[in-house]
C-alpha cells in the first residue's frame, strides 16, 4: 500500500502539531466537533430540498466514545461525509492558507501564537494522537474510504466498509510523558468538560455513553445488616446545551464565552471591544449577536474588506456574509442575525428586496449607534481606542451619500481640541463655547503641532476660543457636509472672515484697505491667475503674509483632492493676505509710492511663494523663487 506525501504546507503544520509544546491541547476536540457540525449542517441543509437524504433534524448527532484500555477516542458524525477525492484534498492539503500566514522557522513562541490565534482544524488531532484514522462515506456514494496517518511521513487511503453516510474519526491517544498527561483525553469527565467549554452551542447533540453506577433495590428478605449493593450501567448523555449563544439571554452568558465565540467565529485573536445583543419581536423577529472588534482587520480600509453579518434562518446558516444587513458606516461590525421570518431558500436577489431584512437592518443600525454612544459616554478610554480603529469610517459615513447619515453619526465623532489637548465631541466643544463665540473653529493640515502654530490658529486661541485640529484627509469634508452643529457653523481659520474683529477694528481695516486700494490692485494684477484677491488680513499677528481661501473649497481640501491619483486637478479660490502692521507692508507701500512697478511685481511674487511655503504647498517654480531671493540679497 503506497504511502502518500502531504503537501508541503500541510507537512509543516503537521510537524508543528506533533511536536507542539502548546499547552492548550484540548482544543483538538473543539476542532473535530466543529468539523462534524459543519458536515451535518451541509447534509441537513440538503435534506430540506432533497428527500433522498431521508433524515429529519433530530436524527443528526455527533457521537463521542472513549476506550481507556485501548487508548482510543472515537468521534462519529452522520454529516455529509467525504469521497475519496475529498479525503485526499481536504486532509492532504492545508485548507486555511488565507488565515494563516505560515512561518517556516519553528520558533516555539510563534508556534504557540499560531495555534492560539487561529485554531488549526483537523491537524490539531496530532497534538494528542499518535495515529489518526478517518473512515468516511459521502452522501450519494456507495463506497467508503479510510484515510490513515501516523504523522508527517504521509498517509494511506484505502477502501473501507461503512454502512451509513458520515465520518468516523479514530484517535490513538499518545502515551503519557513526564510533562504531558494525554490520558485525560480518555477520561469521561474531562471530555464532558471540554465539550461544554468549547462546543456548548453546537446545534446538534454531542452524545457520549457515560459509565454510571446505581444502588440496587433492597431485596425483600434483606438481612438486618444489609449493605447496599451497586451495579454499573451505561447511559447515553447529551453533553451540550445546543442553544446557540445568540439565543441565550445576555445575563446567562459569561463575558468569556462571548469573547471565545467571537474569536473562533471571526478569526480574531483580540477580544471584542463591545458585545451587542438584540432580540426583537413585533415587526421584525430576530436575535442578533454583534461584536465591535477590538482592532481593525489589516485589510479594513482596503477594497478587499467585505462587510456583512452571518445570516441564519431559524438557526440554520443561510448566508456567510450578508452585506445588506450593515450600512457602510458600520461595516466594521461582525456578528450573527438569526430570524425566523426568513425562508431558508431565499436567494440573494430576493434577499435584497426583502422588507423583513430592511426592517432588521434599520433596527440594527439604531442599536449599534446607541451602543457606540453608550460606550462614548461611559467608557471613554475604550471609545477612544475604538475611534483610533474605526473613527475614520464614521467620518466617511458622515460624508458619504451627501450627508444622508450625518444626523445619525454626528454625535459619535471625535476631534482633537487644541485647547484641551485631547479628543472631544462636537457637543463638548459647543458646551464650552462662551456667549460671544459664534462659530466652531478648526484648522486642517498635516499634524497637530504644526496646525497649532498657524498664525490664524494662534489668533483664535488668543481670543480664548477653542480650535479643532483636523489631521485626516476626510475630516474637513466631513465637517463641510455637516455645515453646522447646534446651529454653530464650522469655520476654517484659513478661509473667509473669521469674525474675530470688533466693530472698530473692522472699520479701521476697511479704512486701511480703502487707503491702499491701488496697491492691492497692482499686487493682484501681478499675481493674475494665481490668486483671486489680495487683501489686508484680519488673521495675522506676527507673520507678514498668509494664504487663505474663499468659497467651499479650502486649501487643505485642494491638497487632498489633488493627491488622488488620476483625479482632475482642482484649485481653491486663493486669497493672498497681508499683515498691515508688518514692516514688509511698509516696503510694499514705499515701492508703490516710488512708482517702481518692477519691484512691486517681484515683491508680490516673493510673498506669494512664501505664503505657499507656510501652507505646506509646493512653490510653483522653486528655482525661480530661489533666484529671486538671492537677487534681493545682492
Ligand atoms: P477547516 O475546517 O477550517 O476547513 P480542517 O483542516 O479542519 O479545516 O478541515 C478541512 C476540510 O475537511 C473541511 O473543510 C471539510 O471539508 C473536511 N472535513 C473535515 N472533517 C470533516 C467531517 N467530519 N466530515 C466531512 N468533512 C470533513
pLDDT at 97: 38
Q: Would you say residue 293 lies in a domain?
A: yes
What is the CB neighbour count within 10 angstroms for residue 153?
11
Q: 328, 301 in Cβ contact below 8 A?
A: no
pLDDT confidence of residue 354: 80
**CATH code for position 531:** 1.20.120.790
Domain-located, residue 226: no
Percent of the chain at pLDDT above 70?
Answer: 93
With CA atoms as reference, report the closest residue to 368 among 334, 415, 407.
Answer: 334
- 463 within a domain of the structure (yes/no): yes
* Ligand 1 pocket, residue 36 CB under 6 Å: yes
Q: What are phi and psi of 291, to 5 degrees?
A: -135, 140
Task: Work out which ligand 1 atom sits closest to the CA atom of 34.
Answer: 2
Give 72: exposed, middle or buried? Use CB within 10 Å, 0-12, 13-18, 19+: middle
Number of domains in the chain: 4
| pLDDT in the model for residue 345 | 58
Instruction: Provide the CATH number for the domain around residue 296.
Output: 3.30.230.80
The ranges of the chain with pLDDT < 70 are 1, 20-22, 93-120, 315-317, 343-349
* DSSP state letter for 54: -
> What pLDDT does residue 430 have?
97
CB 39 near ligand 1, within 6 Å: yes
The CATH number linked to 187 is: 3.30.565.10
- Give the position, in ligand 1's atom list, of the atom nearest the Cα of 36: 23
Pocket test for ligand 1, best of 38, 126, 199 (most atoms within 8 A of CB): 38
In a domain, 30, yes or no: yes
For residue 100, what pLDDT is reported?
A: 41
Determine the distance separating the centroid of ligand 1 and the alpha carbon of 35, expressed in angstroms.
5
Domain membership of residue 220 (yes or no) is no
Domain boundary among 493, 528, 561: 493
Q: Does residue 167's CB lie within 6 angstroms of at least one atom of ligand 1?
A: yes
| Cα distance between residue 518 and residue 520, in whole Å | 5
Strand partners, 455: none
In 40-123, beta strands by DSSP E = 62-67, 72-77
Q: Which of ligand 1's atoms lies nearest the C-alpha of 79? A: 24
Q: What is the DSSP letter of 93?
A: S
Q: Does 96 sit in the ligand 1 pocket, CB within 6 Å?
A: yes
Q: Which three cell numbers stand for residue 130?
A: 499518535
User: Is 357 close to ligand 1, i.e. is its CB under 6 Å away?
Assistant: no
**97 and 188 in one domain?**
yes
Q: Which of 456, 619, 631, 603 has its CA nearest to residue 519?
A: 603
Can you give the C-alpha Rg of the chain in angstroms?
36
User: Does 458 lie in the same domain as 560?
Assistant: no
Per DSSP, the residues of 496-554 read S----S-HHHHHHHHHHHHHTHHHHHHHHHHTTTT-SEEEE-SS-SS-SEEEEEESS--
**135 with 268, same domain?**
no
Is residue 455 lining ligand 1, measured as CB closer than 6 Å?
A: no
Q: Name residue, grid cell 451505561.
A: 234
Host domain of residue 260: 245-390
Q: Are residues 559 and 457 in the same domain?
A: no
Query: 69 with 132, same domain?
Result: yes
My answer on whether 160 and 71 are in the same domain is yes
Note the pLDDT tens digit of each residue in 571-607. 889 999 999 889 999 999 999 999 999 999 999 999 9
Locate 48 and state its grid cell: 430540506
* 473 domain-assigned: yes
Q: Which residue has a Cα nearest atom 8 of ligand 1?
A: 121
In a domain, 61, yes or no: yes
452 and 510 part of one domain: no
- pLDDT score of 503: 83
Q: Which residue has the cell 450600512?
A: 327
DSSP state of 230: E
The rounded Å distance from CA 90 to ligand 1 centre is: 6
Residue 172: the pLDDT is 98
| Whole-number Å distance between alpha carbons of 263 and 270 | 7
Residues 43 and 180 reside in one and the same domain: yes
The SS3 assignment for 628 reads helix
95 lines ligand 1 (CB under 6 A): yes
455 and 573 belong to one structural domain: no
Q: Answer whether 77 contacts ligand 1 (Cβ < 6 A).
A: yes
Query: 87 with 200, same domain?
Result: yes
Alpha-carbon distance of 241 to 256, in angstroms, equals: 17
Q: Is the CB of 331 under 6 A from ligand 1?
A: no
Residue nearest to atom 4 of ligand 1 (CA): 95
pLDDT of residue 316: 66
CA distance 203 to 146: 27
Asked whether residue 332 falls in the same domain as residue 459, the answer is no
Report pLDDT for 118. Answer: 45
Domain boundary among 170, 192, 213: 213
Residues linked to residue 235 through DSSP beta bridges, in sequence order: 210
Mutual angle of helices 503-515 and 517-526, in 10-degree steps: 70
Question: Is residue 141 domain-resident?
Answer: yes
- 182 and 43 assigned to the same domain: yes
Predicted pLDDT of residue 101: 43
Cβ-contact 606, 628 below 8 angstroms: yes
pLDDT of residue 198: 77
Residue 108 CA to ligand 1 centre (angstroms)? 26
Amino acid at each position: 500500500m503506497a504511502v502518500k506525501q502531504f503537501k508541503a504546507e500541510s507537512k509543516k503544520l503537521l510537524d508543528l502539531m506533533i511536536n507542539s509544546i502548546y499547552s492548550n491541547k484540548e482544543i483538538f476536540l473543539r476542532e473535530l466537533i466543529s468539523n462534524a457540525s459543519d458536515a451535518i449542517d451541509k447534509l441537513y441543509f440538503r435534506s430540506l430540498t432533497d428527500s433522498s437524504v431521508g433524515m429529519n433534524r433530530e436524527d443528526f448527532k455527533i457521537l463521542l466514545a472513549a476506550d481507556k484500555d485501548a487508548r482510543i477516542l472515537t468521534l462519529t458524525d452522520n454529516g455529509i461525509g467525504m469521497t475519496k477525492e475529498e479525503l485526499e484534498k481536504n486532509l492532504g492539503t492545508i485548507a486555511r492558507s488565507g488565515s494563516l500566514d505560515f512561518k517556516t522557522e519553528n520558533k516555539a513562541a510563534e508556534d504557540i501564537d499560531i495555534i492560539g490565534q487561529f485554531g488549526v482544524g483537523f491537524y490539531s488531532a496530532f497534538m494528542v494522537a499518535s495515529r489518526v484514522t478517518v473512515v468516511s462515506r459521502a452522501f450519494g456514494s456507495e463506497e467508503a474510504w479510510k484515510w490513515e496517518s501516523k504523522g508527517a511521513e504521509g498517509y494511506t487511503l484505502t477502501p473501507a466498509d461503512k454502512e451509513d453516510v458520515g465520518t468516523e474519526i479514530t484517535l490513538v491517544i499518545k502515551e503519557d510523558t513526564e510533562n504531558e498527561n494525554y490520558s485525560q483525553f480518555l477520561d469521561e469527565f474531562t471530555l464532558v468538560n471540554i465539550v461544554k467549554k468549547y462546543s456548548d452551542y453546537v446545534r446538534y447533540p454531542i452524545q457520549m455513553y457515560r459509565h454510571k453506577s446505581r444502588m440496587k433495590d433492597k431485596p425483600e428478605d434483606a438481612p438486618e445488616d444489609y449493605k447496599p449493593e451497586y451495579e454499573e450501567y451505561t447511559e447515553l448523555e447529551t453533553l451540550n446545551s445546543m442553544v446557540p449563544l445568540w439565543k441565550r439571554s445576555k445575563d446567562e452568558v459569561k463575558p468569556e464565552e462571548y469573547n471565545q465565540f467571537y474569536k473562533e467565529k471571526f478569526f480574531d485573536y483580540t477580544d471584542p471591544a463591545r458585545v451587542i445583543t438584540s432580540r426583537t419581536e413585533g415587526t421584525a423577529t430576530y436575535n442578533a449577536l454583534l461584536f465591535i472588534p477590538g482592532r481593525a482587520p489589516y485589510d479594513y480600509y482596503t477594497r478587499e474588506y467585505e462587510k456583512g453579518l452571518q445570516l441564519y434562518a431559524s438557526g440554520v446558516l443561510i448566508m456567510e456574509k450578508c452585506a445588506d444587513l450593515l450600512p457602510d458606516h458600520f461595516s466594521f461590525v461582525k456578528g450573527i442575525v438569526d430570524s425566523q421570518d426568513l425562508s431558508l431558500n431565499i436567494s440573494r436577489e430576493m434577499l435584497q428586496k426583502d422588507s423583513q431584512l430592511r426592517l432588521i437592518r434599520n433596527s440594527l443600525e439604531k442599536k449599534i449607534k446607541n451602543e457606540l454612544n453608550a460606550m462614548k459616554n461611559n467608557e471613554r478610554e475604550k471609545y477612544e481606542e475604538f475611534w483610533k480603529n474605526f473613527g475614520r469610517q464614521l467620518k466617511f459615513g458622515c460624508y458619504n451619500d451627501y450627508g444622508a447619515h450625518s444626523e445619525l453619526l454626528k454625535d459619535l465623532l471625535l476631534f482633537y481640541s487644541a485647547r484641551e489637548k485631547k479628543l472631544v465631541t462636537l457637543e463638548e466643544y459647543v458646551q464650552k463655547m462662551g456667549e460671544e463665540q459664534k462659530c466652531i473653529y478648526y484648522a486642517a493640515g498635516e499634524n497637530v503641532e504644526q496646525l497649532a502654530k498657524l498664525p490664524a490658529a494662534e489668533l483664535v486661541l488668543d481670543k480664548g476660543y477653542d480650535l479643532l485640529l483636523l489631521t485626516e484627509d476626510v475630516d474637513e469634508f466631513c465637517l463641510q457636509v455637516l455645515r453646522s452643529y447646534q446651529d454653530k457653523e464650522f469655520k476654517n481659520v484659513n478661509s473667509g472672515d473669521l469674525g474675530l474683529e470688533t466693530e472698530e477694528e473692522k472699520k479701521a481695516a476697511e479704512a486701511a484697505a480703502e487707503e491702499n486700494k491701488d496697491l492691492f490692485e497692482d499686487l493682484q494684477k501681478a499675481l493674475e491667475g494665481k490668486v483671486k484677491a489680495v487683501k489686508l488680513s484680519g488673521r495675522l499677528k506676527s507673520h507678514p503674509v498668509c494664504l487663505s481661501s474663499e468659497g467651499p473649497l479650502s486649501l487643505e481640501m485642494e491638497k487632498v483632492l489633488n493627491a488622488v491619483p488620476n483625479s482632475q486637478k482642482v484649485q481653491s479660490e486663493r486669497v493672498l493676505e497681508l499683515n498691515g502692521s508688518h514692516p514688509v507692508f511698509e516696503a510694499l507701500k514705499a515701492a508703490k509710492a516710488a512708482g517702481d512697478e518692477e519691484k512691486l511685481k517681484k515683491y508680490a511674487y516673493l510673498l506669494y511663494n512664501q505664503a505657499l511655503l507656510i501652507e505646506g504647498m509646493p512653490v510653483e517654480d522653486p528655482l525661480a523663487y530661489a533666484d529671486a531671493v538671492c537677487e534681493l540679497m545682492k
